[in-house]
Amino acid sequence: MFRFKNWPVYNDARKLRLEIKNKILSQISEKEKYILSPQIDRAMNSIILNIAEGSYRKSDKDFAHFLNQATASLYEVVAGLDLLLDSRYISKTTHQYFIDGLEKLAKQLSAFSRSLKGH
């Protein structure tokens, strides 16, 4: 019934969200926990939720809109990680590891969107 639960892009987004939450967001300073951390967490949630919500849409055009929203949220996560790097809350190695994961996810979302009729 919930077809999105079988899609690699959905499951990869869930895994990446947990990794970011456990390896970055739980480790940053108290100050950032209340400023940037919730924003990154909401953006990661938005990626997953938009994939799920879009999967129910009846037209490919509607679904593509939700995949676009998921991608926009992904870009927000990238910018958030850049800010954490700039503030030295995360190392360059940690930053690059998660940027690589987000890039892979962005490619999956883009390919999925292109596979829809008329896109």
pLDDT of 69-118, one tens digit each? 999 999 999 999 999 999 898 999 999 999 999 999 999 999 999 998 75
Q: What is the pTM (predicted TM-score) of this model?
A: 0.92
E strands in the chain = none
Dihedral of alpha carbons 24, 26, 30, 36, sign: positive
Q: In whole angstroms, what is the distance from residue 70 CA to residue 93 CA? A: 25
Q: What letter represents residue 43's amino acid?
A: A
Other beta carbons within 10 Å of 16: 20
CATH topology of domain 3-115: de novo design (two linked rop proteins) (1.20.1440)
